[in-house]
Structure 1
Amino acid sequence: MNKPHVVINTDDRKPQSDVTVNDYVEKEVEDDSKQEFFLVKIFRSGINFVFDFLETIVVALSVFVVIYLFIVQPHEVKGSSMEPTFQNNEYIITDKISYRFGKPNRGDVVIFKAPVNPDVDYIKRIIGLPGETVMVQSGRIYIDGKMLNEPYLEDLTPIFPGGFIKEGVVVSIPENHYFVMGDNRPHSSDSREFGPIEKKLIIGRAVFRYWPINNLGLIPGANYRY
């Protein structure tokens, strides 16, 4: 008995579909469109990133300028006129806003424009207030006739020849003016030399020392007994 004849197809290639030239062209156009869309998307993302970055920089700079001009400002102590309270090359933060709403107090350490050279900033301590009298006698300070106790001093207060203050002579502090001195009295150019300073020259009050690290901390005012 004859077995059925089985034909085995050894060619496993799939029959080709009918593909025209137009199909290839349409596919290439579609691929080009996708690539163009992708590039445009990347470009727009890059532009948005740049604008966001610039916006962040502008906002940060604006905040910095406002803080620097109106709120606080860093200063470097130069010289020895405030020793031992402050040493040369120490760095402090100056509060520029408090005196816009209040008045300076005796004992405040202030930074101000030097009357003899407005391009230079001085750091001194407020000793006399508007309307008070000041006198230096035998190395001691007298406010309204009462001796001022200054525990931060290491030396007596000398008088400089040709300066504003004369030994034993009482002087009055005008309104809106302040009498300032350095804590290192023998080595400080201050109101003994150039007289009381106007409030408008005061930049602000020294409130914080941030360098050197071992002296990091708030800067207190002085407590007086007189």
Structure 2
Amino acid sequence: MGLPPFLRNVLIGIPIGITYLDTVGYVARVEGISMQPALNPNLEEVDYVYLNRWAIRGYKIERGDIISFSSPKFPKQKLIKRIVGVPGDIVNTIGYKTEFVQVPEGHCWVEGDHTGHSMDSNTFGPISLGLVTAKATCIVWPPSRWQVLNPMIREHRIPLNILRSSVA
């Protein structure tokens, strides 16, 4: 005598669902103002983003990507910030213990778009790529904000080594 179809479907569906969430991605609510204006541009509506775990396989991240990562200070806390510097980049910091930082191998420099209202690398330094959990690829809610999140960095935050090479 076999399992009832409903129970069989649940027993098959749950592991598939968990595997999808752990491997491919999930939707998450964005809290706070640190990523304004890109995310949560007004306080009346909260953005929900698709966090793509698949996109970071092999740590394929680039300057301007918005990523989710575990906070180096509070590991249970997930943060969403923009990558400003990748390994080898020289970043002009904002209130960090040194004015310039060269991002070490295996790390990246992340900042919130709302300068001065963000707990980011200017607080805790470069983060290990091992802390990165996903890349935010699009806003999925509210419908009025549906959009793909393309990599971009505001001109005044471009790493110094990139600025120098584009001028030369």
Find the aligned partners of 1:197 and 1:109 in 2 and give their Cα distance: 14
The amino acid across from 1:204 in the alignment is: A
Which residue of the partner structure matches residue 213 of structure 1?
A: 143
Find the aligned partners of 2:22 and 2:89 in 1 and give their Cα distance: 31
The amino acid across from 1:122 in the alignment is: L
CA deviations on 1:63-82 (whole Å, 9 max, x unpaired) are 11011111102211000000
CA deviations on 1:154-182 (whole Å, 9 max, x unpaired) are xxxxx33xx34x4xx32211100000000
Which residue of the partner structure matches residue 190 of structure 1?
A: 120
Match of 2:22 among 69, 82, 98: 69
Structure 1 residues 75 and 83: alpha-carbon distance in aligned structure 2, compared to 1, 3 A threshold:
same
The gaps in structure 2 that reach 5 residues or longer are 156-162, 164-168
Q: 2:137, 2:148 within 8 Å by CA — same for their partners in 1?
A: yes
Which residue of the partner structure matches residue 112 of structure 1?
A: 69
Match of 2:36 among 80, 83, 90: 83
Q: Secondary structure, in 3 states, of the residue corresponding to 1:78? A: coil
The gaps in structure 1 that reach 5 residues or longer are 1-46, 137-158
Q: 2:84, 2:153 within 8 Å by CA — same for their partners in 1?
A: no
Which residue of the partner structure matches residue 25 of structure 1?
A: none
CA deviations on 1:92-133 (whole Å, 9 max, x unpaired) are 110101221452100000000011101110000000011221
Find the aligned partners of 2:65 and 2:119 in 1 and give their Cα distance: 17
Which residue of the partner structure matches residue 134 of structure 2?
A: 204
Aligned residues: 152
Structure 1 residues 95 and 85: alpha-carbon distance in aligned structure 2, compared to 1, 3 A threshold:
same
Instruction: Tell which has more relative contact order, 1 or 2 (C-alpha 8 A, sep 6+).
Output: 2
Find the aligned partners of 2:12 and 2:18 in 1 and give their Cα distance: 10
1:174 equivalenced with 2:104 (yes/no): yes
Q: Secondary structure, in 3 states, of the residue corresponding to 2:7? A: helix
Q: 2:85, 2:103 within 8 Å by CA — same for their partners in 1?
A: yes
Moved over 6 A (4+): none
Find the aligned partners of 2:32 and 2:154 in 1 and give their Cα distance: 26
Q: Please identify, of 107-116 and 84-93, the stretch whose mean Cα deviation from structure 2 is larger.
A: 84-93
Structure number with bigger Rg: 1
Which residue of the partner structure matches residue 124 of structure 1?
A: 81
Cα RMSD for the two superposed structures: 1.9
Provide TM-score, normalisation by structure 1. 0.62
Q: Secondary structure, in 3 states, of the residue corresponding to 1:94? A: strand
Q: Please identify, of 216-225 and 104-113, the stretch whose mean Cα deviation from structure 2 is larger.
A: 216-225
Find the aligned partners of 1:92 and 1:197 in 2 and give their Cα distance: 22
What percentage of aligned pairs have identical amino acids?
A: 29
